[in-house]
Amino acid sequence: MSTTPHNSPRRRLSSALLAVLSLLAAAFLTAPTASARTEAVPTATLTEVTDFGTNPSNLQMYLYVPDNVTAHPAVVVAVHYCTGSGPAMYNGTEWARLADTFGFVVIYPSVTRSSKCFDVSSPQALKRGGGSDPVGIKSMIDWTVNAYSADTGRIYATGISSGAMMTNVLLGDYPDVFAAGAAFSGVPFGCFATTDGSEWNSACSGGTVTHTPQQWGDLVRAAYPGYSGTRPRMQVWHGTEDDVLRYPNFGEEIKQWTNVLGVSQTPAATDTPVSGWTRTRYGATGDRAPVEAISLQGVGHNLYSTGMAARALTFFGLDSTGPAPQPQPGACKVAATTNAWNTGLTASLTITNTGTTTINSWQLAFTLPAGQTITNGWGATYSPPSGSVTAANATYNGTIAPNASVSIGYQATHGGNSAAPTGFMLNGKACTTS
């Protein structure tokens, strides 16, 4: 492995993520260890698993299993950024909290090489079974499937920066393993390829590597020659001001995965789920389109923020489908009523903190009945206006003391179904209803 000059692009990548690292530093933990394939790991805590199988690049495996893990659970592989680790990814994202709600298992691979970057460059990494990091991650998945009888039809990958690049690589190398992926600030499969042992490809990071959709697709298909089965769906995220992995990579990812999945490069739907975001869907218009792409205007490389994992979860389909149990109630209660007329209605929601600690900066997620669209609201900011909605607190009501309540509401149109919303979750925890 070549040495890295102090002002190299990789150092710039590390600098771009200092804000995330500082947030994670306070949450350092020492994980317990599970070494035998037949040993179930403790629930509701991050555990290191050793001796998990073939591991040519000496990765570490960390596993999170919720208390309410389902029979035949889904599996999410959450891949860290350069300078990161499995525990840092556990502490800095919501995947474990979402697993608590929906009963799936999370694998957190962790790099041990000095750069703490995943290998997305070597010929070994860009070929199914070729060696390096993808083989170790595949072994982690196999261990988890065997230990928990996991649902092999519901295995997903997600990652940030280097982890986003690895998400692209995993879906290319193992299309028969993954159902979908979500890549936050990544590059296309094969874009970072090098032949000199270097981990860094300046042309790709600078956004100057461009190919036709067919050429990009051929790179993916070459990772597993002869494969003709179903290909995993892909969700990609990128900030327009990314100065580490430049924004043109976003368009190249779209070209690649629309070609791989055999859908048009012309969006089937375009919307703005959050101010400054442009979401395009390819091949279908719903939450689980073959390809979904979210562009964040004016945002740099370090784009990941709270709430994005839940959107990836929706893309995966893990928030509403499969054999998962009903989410376990959290320390909250919601009362909802509607008052309808013709094609309109008003809804009133009262959120009560039934716990023993104060809630600060809340977000209430819920599902509107089909045909309802919010036209205006009060007490919160609502986004998007239909389907799976999130209401975020206003500046004056962001704190809910124990046993206290906050009332919010909205006006909406409807197509005949004027029922109240359902599926209330406050800061990722399911609420009881009354």
Residues recognised as catalytic: 161
DSSP, collapsed to helix, strand or coil, labels residue 225 as coil
Count, residues in the chain? 434
Distance CA 186, CA 245 (A): 7
Distance CA 348, CA 343 (A): 17
Residue with tokens 């939450």: 287
The overall longest dimension of the chain from CA atoms, in Å, is 70
Phi-psi category of residue 147: left, alpha or beta, with phi > 0 → left and psi -120 to 50 → alpha:
alpha
DSSP, collapsed to helix, strand or coil, labels residue 418 as coil
Contact partners, residue 319, CB within 8 Å, separation at least 6 = 98, 102, 310, 313, 388
Contact partners, residue 393, CB within 8 Å, separation at least 6 = 361, 362, 363, 380, 406
**Peptide bond connecting 109 to the previous residue in cis, omega within 30 degrees of 0:** no
Residue 391 pairs with which residues in a beta bridge?
364, 382
Residue 63 pairs with which residues in a beta bridge?
47, 107
Residue with tokens 């490809």: 201
DSSP, collapsed to helix, strand or coil, labels residue 54 as coil
Q: How distant, in Å, are the alpha carbons of 82, 191, 209, 249, 304 from that of 239?
A: 18, 18, 18, 10, 10
| Cβ(80)–Cβ(112) below 8 Å | no
| Torsion, CA 91, CA 97, CA 100, CA 103, rounded to 10 | -90
